[in-house]
Amino acid sequence: MTLASPTDARTANAAGLQPSGAAPVRPGKIGIMLVNLGTPDGTDFKPMWRYLREFLSDPRVIELNKAIWYPILYGLVLTTRPKKSGANYARIWNREMNESPLRTFTRAQGQKLATALADLPDVVVDWAMRYGNPSTASVVQRLVEQGCERILTFPLYPQYSATTTATANDQLFRALMKIRHAPAIRSVPPYYDEPVYIEALARSIEKHIATLDFAPEVVITSYHGIPKPYSDKGDPYQSHCLETTRLLRERLGWDENKLITTFQSRFGAQEWLQPYTDVTVEKLAKDGVRSIAIVNPGFSVDCIETLDEIGREAAETFHHAGGKNFAHIPCLNDSAEGMAVVEALVRRELSGWV
């Protein structure tokens, strides 16, 4: 028995050889969906409350039993944190476009990827957020309405964690559950050790350091942390981060004292992955280190955790402890280096589809 290919099926349909009453077979398009973590729609209390509620209600992000966590979330957290977080977002807000930099950069990535893939006429590029807008469900629906029978989703997290990559894919499949004729799905795997990614990071670091009027004695690779129990249960995130730094150190030709790893953004009372970025920055200054730079390899684009937590808070911590020169190295964003990573991985994962 010989199975007909999609091309054969389309030919048969055109020749009138399909069974009577069968739906016409049309060549389907392929959707590319870039997915980032998310962003509030504004800096006021209500949009911050909505965003934080969605984010902190995700059971992969907060693994506590709901009976324990929800009274805390709806009691203390959502009554106090929206105002504080809103003030932080206000400092970095893109006033011209009235949105967070994360949304601005992710949109730019989508637009530039669409241009780069112009040689693939049946490919449609779009972008979505796991939390906030544009929602994953709305973008999936938009791609389906444009005739996409296959979707390649690209969670923009170089290092895998259940708190990021997995929850982005969870949300995608929740959206598919509501679609009767669901498209086929592929997901770009974590790319923490991909040569194109390591090369892009290295070039970005080298280019930025060349613009400084000082030479950093220490460069810190600061990654978003996760609670240590998550790692102990088997989340590979820590090992992925350490491998990224090792490969980056190897590419730059630096030793373990020049390029170090830390973890930032801890939340709550439990222990998170260590060493902590803020503690390390303070200790370096007190130990006599006068010049440092921090890069965030775990973030595909600049956001609140890089621009404010590192660009402002870490800088203040370093200076108050006696440090002199501080630099934050931007994320890859939609730079030529960053887009080379996205395009290379997308083209590879499209193999067999185009």
Q: Which of 50, 105, 119 shows the shortest CA–CA distance to 333?
A: 105
d(CA 312, CA 266): 16
Query: Residue 311 is encoded by which pair of tokens?
Result: 């660009």
Annotated binding-site residue? 208: no
Q: Which of 332, 336, 335, 349 shows the shortest CA–CA distance to 158?
A: 332
Can you spell out the DSSP letters for 215-263? --SEEEEEEE--BHHHHHTT--HHHHHHHHHHHHHHHHT--TTTEEEEE
Query: Residue 220 is encoded by which pair of tokens?
Result: 């810190």
Query: Residue 314 is encoded by which pair of tokens?
Result: 């870490």
Residues with Cβ within 8 Å of residue 141, at least 6 apart in sequence: 175, 179
d(CA 216, CA 281): 13
Give yes or no for a contact between 71 and 268, defined as CB atoms under 8 angstroms apart: no
Amino acid at 7: T
DSSP state, 123? E
Annotated binding-site residue? 224: yes
Give yes or no for a contact between 152 and 349, defined as CB atoms under 8 angstroms apart: yes
d(CA 42, CA 50): 10
- Other C-beta atoms within 10 Å of 188: how many? 20
- Other C-beta atoms within 10 Å of 63: how many? 14
φ/ψ bin of 81: left (φ > 0), alpha (ψ from -120 to 50), beta (otherwise): alpha
- Binding-site residue set for Fe(2+): 224, 305
- Binding-site residue set: 224, 305
